[in-house]
Amino acid sequence: MAKIAVPITSLKQLKKAEALADIIELRLDFFTKRDLAQLKKLKTSKQLIATLRPKWELGNFKGTEIQREKLFSQLVASHNFTYVDLEFDAKFSKDFTKQVKASGAKLILSKHFPKNIPSVPELQKLQKQMAAKGADVCKIIGTAERFFDNLSTLNLVKLSTSPIVSFCMGEFGPISRILSCTFGAEFTFASLDKASGTAPGQIPAVELRQAFTQLANRPDASGILMVIGDPIDHSLSPQMQNAAINHLGLKSFYMKQRVPPELLKDFTFMCKSLGINGFNVTIPHKVSVMQFMDFTDKHASRIGAVNTVTIQNTRAFGHNTDSLGVSFSLKQLDPILKAKKVLLIGAGGAGRAAVYGLWKQEADITLTNRTESKSLALARDFNCKTLPFSSLRNPKILSDFKIIINATSLGLKSDVSPISKFPKAKAKGNGAPIAFDLVYSPKGTQFLKKAKSAGWKTLDGSEMLVQQGAEAFKLFTGETPNINIMRDAVKKSLSAKK
């Protein structure tokens, strides 16, 4: 089983770390004088790493190298550490290395690259130099300025024949923190919690443990599933998909990752190179990701957008399950969509999928979009009518529609709605018109709140999330998930956010 090291910056954090970590890193450069004095009394069953990191290597120690070596030497002499982490570029005497070895601790020589991570051959050369200086474990850490950078550290781990710790820090590096142990690293690092990270990109220990438990020593990257977007923090797909994965006992882990538009190609290349299982796609990438697919199925091609990517033999296959989610969700409130007058707001990836789903149900569709050229192009594709975006300010025009769908990202901002005032519903109960927001929010979007106050039936995007997610799950795994478990996971997550 992969080992997790959790850094602590105070002895007050020790008890919590003991419950989460296999190894505890004592970040002595952050310890107070009182904490340092109490180290002699420290008792724990966990393995310990002693680290006294200087400012020049992303640490907190502010003194000179002479002062640092003196203090570090005193601390090594006063406690039995499992590992002692010393920077490869430290200006310490050879006596310190001898002292560490004599104490019974293993020497970690470490090097951090805050930018411009070297090539794999250069990293291998560095590893040999570390070994020559007496390293028992070589720790080589990069920073993922782009997703491709993760491949350097992961390939280094794959090729290593001696103990190594190597992954990438930064917002784009979490996948390397997980897969480094899959490929043979001695251990990896996680934060105590979301607020206690000591390096950028650290995954909370609870989440990293969940990943390792679900992957169950899987020997490659094929158990990794992801959802990408920008923004992505709001996504409940990980909770939903991991619930289904656990129910079926599959060796997979589903995670989310922010991918800015300029790194979408780079991300796709990384996934294909690693051979991960696949990923879901949300705003704003559903249309733009198509250009990086090796193949798209007939639904995605007709829609002109992809929300699910499966990877087989380094080839990316694009699919779209959103359209099924839209039509299924609407049918819960109105089983017959044929000839129903529907106004769809938005012409992006989600809007295109919604049009396709409604078109297949033979609904009477009218499109509107802030950028009129996009709604006109989409209308030509599906032989729909259009309205100027300014029509949304006219309640009389809006009253002609039985269903109004918001397929824009405005719902992600709870204080913004594309419609400022809905017309009063002319009918009540089952006959009332429907307002459907494709996004979901624990507090409800302004779009739905305004519709509800006018007597409209309302529907958020949570059921669409579940339905499209279940179809994506089948594509990823070949298994049929328990949709009730997925639905319950979404409901639970939304309730927790209220």
Q: What is the mean pLDDT of residues 289-296?
A: 98
Q: For residues 463 and 332, is the Cβ–Cβ distance under 8 A? A: yes
Name every residue whose Cβ is closer than 8 Å to that of residue 226 and which is 6 or more positions away in sequence: 175, 254, 255, 256, 257, 271, 276, 278, 279, 280
Predicted pLDDT at 54: 96
Is residue 358 over pLDDT 80? yes
Rounded CA separation 7/351 (Å):
45
Domain with CATH 3.40.50.10860 in the chain: 226-320+466-497
Predicted pLDDT at 198: 80
Q: What is the mean pLDDT of residues 133-143?
A: 97
Is residue 429 over pLDDT 90? no
Is residue 412 over pLDDT 90? no
Residue 353: closest CA among 382, 332, 385, 389: 382
Q: What is the mean pLDDT of residues 283-305?
A: 97
Contacts 24+ apart (CB under 8 A), 480-487: 481/244, 481/247, 481/248, 482/244, 482/247, 482/248, 485/243, 485/244, 485/247, 486/240, 486/241, 486/243, 486/244, 487/463
Provide, rounded to the nearest whole percent, the portion of the chain with pLDDT above 70.
99
Is residue 414 over pLDDT 70? no
- Could you please state the CATH topology (level 3) that the domain comprising 323-460 is classified under: Rossmann fold (3.40.50)
Predicted pLDDT at 417: 92
Q: Is the peptide bond before 388 cis (omega within 30 degrees of 0)?
A: no
Name every residue whose Cβ is closer than 8 Å to that of residue 415 and which is 6 or more positions away in sequence: 446
Q: Can you name the residues that pair with 89 across neighbouring β-strands?
A: none
pTM of the prediction? Answer: 0.93
Domain with CATH 3.20.20.70 in the chain: 4-218
Rounded CA separation 300/313 (Å):
20
Is residue 441 over pLDDT 90? no
Predicted pLDDT at 179: 97
Work out the pLDDT band at 497, boundaries 50, 70, 90.
confident
Work out the pLDDT band at 440, boundaries 50, 70, 90.
confident
Predicted pLDDT at 40: 85
Predicted pLDDT at 428: 87
Predicted pLDDT at 171: 96
Predicted pLDDT at 397: 96
Is residue 199 over pLDDT 90? no
Rounded CA separation 304/307 (Å):
10
Which residues in 245-369 belong to E strands, given as ranges?
253-258, 278-281, 295-296, 308-312, 315-319, 341-345, 364-368
Is residue 217 over pLDDT 90? no
Q: What integer best gives the mean pLDDT of the chain?
A: 95
Q: Which tokens go with 460?
A: 């958020």
Is residue 413 over pLDDT 80? no
* Helix runs in 275-432, H state only: 298-303, 322-331, 349-360, 372-382, 395-398
Residue numbers annotated as active site:
286
Provide, rounded to the nearest whole percent, the portion of the chain with pLDDT above 90.
90
Predicted pLDDT at 200: 85
Residue at 186: amino acid letter = E
Is residue 348 over pLDDT 80? yes
Predicted pLDDT at 110: 98
Name every residue whose Cβ is closer than 8 Å to that of residue 128 and which is 6 or more positions away in sequence: none
Residue at 278: amino acid letter = G
Domain 4-218 belongs to what architecture?
Alpha-Beta Barrel (3.20)
Q: What is the mean pLDDT of residues 232-258?
A: 97
CATH class, range 226-320+466-497: alpha beta
Rounded CA separation 403/432 (Å):
9
Q: CB-based burial of residue 373 (10 Å sphere; 0-12 exposed, 13-18 middle, 19+ buried)?
A: exposed
Distances (CA, A) of 82 to 42, 79, 294, 347: 13, 10, 49, 58
